Structure 1
Amino acid sequence: MASDTKKGGGLWETIKTIVYALLIAGVFRTLFFQPFWIPSGSMKDTLLIGDFLFVNKMAYGYSYASCPSIIMPRFGINIDAQDICGIFDGDNTRLFGSEPERGDVAVFRHPSTGRDFIKRVIGLPGDTVQVRNGLLYINGEPVQVEEEGTFDEVAAPQGPQQLRPRCANGPVGPGGTCTKEKFVETLPNGVEHSILNITNQGSDNTAVYHVPEGHYFMMGDNRDNSSDSRVPNIAGGVGFVPLENFVGKANRVIFSSAGRSMLFFWTWRADRFFEKIE
């Protein structure tokens, strides 16, 4: 009998330990850092498919978007942050922290779908933003751009979704070298970062966007392969992003996997461990 009691107590202690661990992990993720896995190539070459990073939630303070979403399609689980913290949604304000700055690489909730996106902050509240012939204009002034060679990668499926890269050097066969033009763009506040160009397309020439108060204009660094604020969210793009939708700031890549899973350690990119995000 004593043995059965001991076994029962041990099982209960194990359950409590698991529950406490989950609670601590949930609090940590809600208040401090959220893991993020780069699923697409919209931020190349700043971020690559398979980069793993932690998003600093303390940078911008807290809103309903700070609550984690739990999405596990395989198990039929789809718990959105708004389901948990929707009571705090709607006033477009944040608690503590500071506002995003131009040039920040930030994770935010898509205004329509609620899914987490990662892009660069380009336009601030009150700005005008336009793209003419592939060149970015902020408040009517062109940003400084300098050529920096090319960004080359293998023309092969990438990441869990097995996405194939788009290439500036035309159709490239499997295993060939996929090339994109690379530039360094300098924003009005002095932030320098690389951008890529693939071809001339519709998004290289846009209307003038007037960024509303309390909203931000976001763009991917892989300019011809990014769904961002250049397209309204009602048309499948991102549109303007409300302040309350920001999750946090991305500062550093922890590690990076070139394979289909982060568990395939033999595909980890040795040169990207703790890489600073510029």
Structure 2
Amino acid sequence: MAEKKQDGILETIKTIFWALIIAGVFRTLFFQPFWIPTGSMKDTLLIGDFLFVNKMAYGYSQYSCPFGICPFSGRILASDPERGDVVVFRHPTLGTDYVKRLIGLPGDKIQLKNGIVFINGVEAPQTPGGVFEEIKESQGRFGTIPICANRPVGLGGVCEKERSIETLPNGVQHSVLNVATGRNDNTNVFTVPEGHFFFMGDNRDNSTDSRVSQNAGGVGMVPFEYLLGRADRIMFSSAGKRLVYFWTWRSDRFFKAIE
């Protein structure tokens, strides 16, 4: 009887071991889960959206493995990202995963004038896209309070942001939000080095991105090897602090394609 019990324990340990191995391989090679913790990509991505990152999209680098332990340098099976992709990448100095939109490719010259993006001297036009509305309240596990263009707004009030539709040179269209004219709405010309990319958040006045250098607390230019994959689809979404708060689930965002 003791032998059977011992065999059962060993089988359970083996099952758990192989399940972890399979899960690790799946996470390394195919898809990585990612929760949206901040509002920098509103209204494309909302705080509490859950998605899988397509790690096959751009090939694999050292950082494709959990904790950045893949035993090789450079990138294998590489495919070039496209302008307008929503990308999850590892911050080059902080080691934190970020999600932003790819705006600048290697060799591009990027500049913002009054909140409008110019790529190689050509404007990425914005057309009016209505108003983005949300309740001014604590959002997500960090308890973030949104910034409103129609301030002052009290807690529980309707918080508004101007929405525009931006068209990139390759025809990709996506919404961007604007609250007010800020210091990052007018910039010098950024030249994207070879092997690097320039990222911005869609919530332009509430995004830490490539407009600010890493030394100044921003993202700066991101090397190709730090790209983890492309965000293609929202699988699940919850507006609450905890997943078990089913009344905060956003069923209209389940399985929604990311544009």
| TM-score normalised over the length of structure 1 | 0.92
Task: State how far apart, in whole Å, the 1-side matches of 2:78 and 2:33 are.
Answer: 19
* CA deviation profile, 1:73-104 (whole Å, cap 9, x unmatched): xxxxxxx32xx23x534xxx321141111000
Aligned counterparts, 1:107-126, within 5 A: 107-126=88-107
SS of 1:223's partner is coil
Superposition TM-score, scaled by structure 2 size: 0.98
CA distance in 2, matches of 1:152, 1:247: 31
CA contact (8 A) 1:219 1:226 kept: yes
Alignment partner, residue 265 of structure 1: 246
Match of 2:126 in 1: 145
CA distance in 2, matches of 1:250, 1:114: 19
Question: SS at 1:170's partner residue?
Answer: coil
Structure 2 match to 1:88: 72
2:21 aligns with 23
Corresponding letter in the other structure for 2:81: P
Letter in 2 for 1:16: K
Identity %: 63
Runs of 4+ displaced beyond 6 Å: none
Q: CA deviation at 1:240?
A: 0.3
Letter of the 1:63 counterpart? S
CA distance in structure 2 between the partners assigned to 1:205 and 1:16 by the alignment: 58
Superposition deviation, residue 49 in structure 1: 0.1
Counterpart of 2:80? 99
User: Alignment partner for residue 38 of structure 1, among 32, 36, 39?
Assistant: 36
CA RMSD of aligned residues (A): 0.9
Secondary structure, in 3 states, of the residue corresponding to 1:88? coil
SS in structure 2 of the partner of residue 126 of structure 1 = coil
CA contact (8 A) 1:50 1:262 kept: no
Give ranges in structure 1 of 5+ residues lacking alignment: 69-79
- Are residues 1:128 and 2:112 paired? no
Residue matched to 1:76: none
Which residue identity does 1:138 align to in structure 2?
Answer: I
> How far apart are 1:267 and its partner, in Å?
1.1
Cα distance, 1:43 vs structure 2: 0.1
The residue identity in structure 1 corresponding to 2:107 is G
> What amino acid maps onto 2:179 in structure 1?
I
Q: Distance in 1 between matches of 2:191 and 2:244?
A: 44
Do residues 214 (structure 1) and 198 (structure 2) align?
A: no
The aligned amino acid for 1:121 is L
Give runs of aligned pairs for residues 159-170 of structure 1, distance below 5 A: 159-170=140-151
How far apart are the structure 2 equivalents of 1:97 and 1:105?
A: 17
1:156 aligns with 2:137: yes
CA deviations on 1:115-166 (whole Å, 9 max, x unpaired) are: 1000000000000000011111000111111001100000000001110001
For 1:36, what is the secondary structure of its paired residue?
Answer: strand
Per-residue deviation at 1:261?
Answer: 1.7
In structure 1, the partner of 2:204 is: 223
Residue 61 in 1 paired to residue 42 in 2? no
Q: Deviations over 1:178-203 (max 9, x none)?
A: 00000000000000000000111100
Post-superposition offset of 1:234 = 1.2
Q: Secondary structure at the match of 2:205?
A: helix
Q: Secondary structure at the match of 1:101?
A: coil
Say which SS state the counterpart of residue 13 (structure 1) adopts: helix
